[in-house]
Structure 1
Amino acid sequence: MIQVFCSERGSGKTKKLINLANDNLEDAKGDSVFIDDDNRTMLSLNRKIRFISTEEFTLKDYESFYGFLCGLISENYDIENIYVDGLSNIVRGNELNGAELLFEKMKNLSRRFGVKFFINLNHNCNDVPEFIRQYSYSYS
């Protein structure tokens, strides 16, 4: 399962993703990982959620981000939820149109390993490509 939350920068997506991660922890049978491009949100997460800042890694394109995800999953088969705050910030300078293969591969990872992906994008849902829009979800 992939859920994409898209809205303009400053609309509260990060806070909502943190709340979702913390709330989902109660019902999760497996582990949760929160990926961000910096450390600002780390202290807002429950300490049982593994926090990873991509500042320490060179993720220059969607292929390297996919490899990063595979490394996480291969290291821990108990991962149930992966939260990605600001995919566009993590993989800078890459247009969303180039992310189609990444989303296809994440869909396969989700099926094969039972991982749920929750992704924030700093874009209006009407402006994202159809292959992303099919995963768009509204916070309630």
Structure 2
Amino acid sequence: MIRVIMGKKGSGKTKQMIEMINAAAQTEHGNVICIEKGNKLTLDIHYHIRLVEASDYDIGSYTALKGFISGMYASNYDITHIFIDSLTKIAGGECDNETENFLDWLNKFGEQHNIKFTITISDDADLAPDGVKKYF
């Protein structure tokens, strides 16, 4: 299952995600991961959440992000929820057809391994491709 939260900068996406992450820390029975670009969430999320700073791993494309997520799961089968803050900033692009393809892959990966994904994208939701909007 994938949920995309999309909106322009300053629309409250990160605040909403922080609330969801902290709720997941209390309700999930497995490991919860949060991938972010920068260290802005460090003091806001529950200490049980595994916080991963994407810049430390030189993730610059959707292909690299697929490999990164696959590798995290391969090393820890107890992951139940992954939050990705600012997807297009991590992958280095715009919200486009490549984003759609990545979300479709992520949805399939999540269904195969019983992992939920919650993702924020900083962009105008009205301009999102239909393939992205289906995950709103």
* TM-score bucket (shorter structure): over 0.9
Q: Please state how far the C-alpha of 1:105 moved relative to its aligned partner.
A: 1.3
| Structure 1 counterpart of 2:15, one-letter code | K
In the other structure, the counterpart of 1:98 is 98
What pairs up with 1:46-65 in 2 under 5 angstroms? 46-65=46-65
Identity of aligned residues (%): 27
4+ runs deviating over 6 angstroms: none
TM-score by length of 1: 0.92
Q: Which residue of 1 aligns with 2:4?
A: 4
Match runs of 1:4-83 below 5 Å: 4-83=4-83
Matched with 2:84 is 84
In the alignment, what sits opposite 2:116? Answer: 116
- How many aligned residue pairs are there? 136
Note the residue ranges of structure 2 that are not aligned, 5 or more in a row: none
Worse-matched range after superposition: 91-100 or 69-78? 91-100
TM-score by length of 2: 0.95
Partner SS state of residue 43, structure 1 = coil
Q: CA 1:20/1:95 → structure 2, altered by over 3 Å: closer, same or farther?
A: closer
Q: Structure 1, unaligned stretches of length 5 or more?
A: none
User: Aligned with 2:34: secondary structure?
Assistant: strand
Equivalent residue, structure 2, for 1:135: 135
Partner Cα separation in structure 1 for residue 98 and residue 43 of structure 2:
32
Distance in structure 1 (CA, Å) of the matches to 2:123 and 2:16: 16
3-state SS, counterpart of residue 46 of structure 2 = coil
